[in-house]
Amino acid sequence: MGHVWVKVKIGDENLIRLIEADALVDTGATLTIIPRKMAIDLNLRLTGKSIVETGAGRLELERSRIWIELEGRSEVVPALISDVIDKVLIGVTTLEVLGLQVDPLTGKLREWTLLLY
């Protein structure tokens, strides 16, 4: 199928600052990840830290909350801040909150029903 790239708008929770970016959908990531520079530019408030498992081992990353718009849908979601990754990675939690999923046949996002069980 290849990589799934999407256009996103990311902002702070109060929508004071907004940044448009190309993002890679990463169905292997739980949370969305943004580069540290973007977090600084948005003046995000840190909400804690999380231990994450990566191909290179375990890392401790800071957390925040971002407003994100993707495929015409928007919501405030948790996000991790990375000093290593230089692009936005959209995790499955963000996709699920927005009611989206990757269509493996087309390599694009499509609407998906939220689950309650």
Give the three-class secondary structure for 38.
helix
Tell whether the torsion through CA atoms of 18, 93, 28 and 82 is positive or negative.
positive
- The predicted-structure confidence for 38-86, as pLDDT tens digits, reads as follows 999 999 999 999 999 988 889 899 999 999 999 999 999 999 999 999 9
| Cα Rg of the chain, angstroms | 14
In the numeric block, which tokens belong to residue 109?
Answer: 């996002």
Inform me whether the pLDDT recorded for 1 exceeds 70. no
What is the band of 113 on the pLDDT scale with cuts at 50, 70, 90? Answer: confident
Comparison of pLDDT for 117 and 109, the residue scoring more: 109
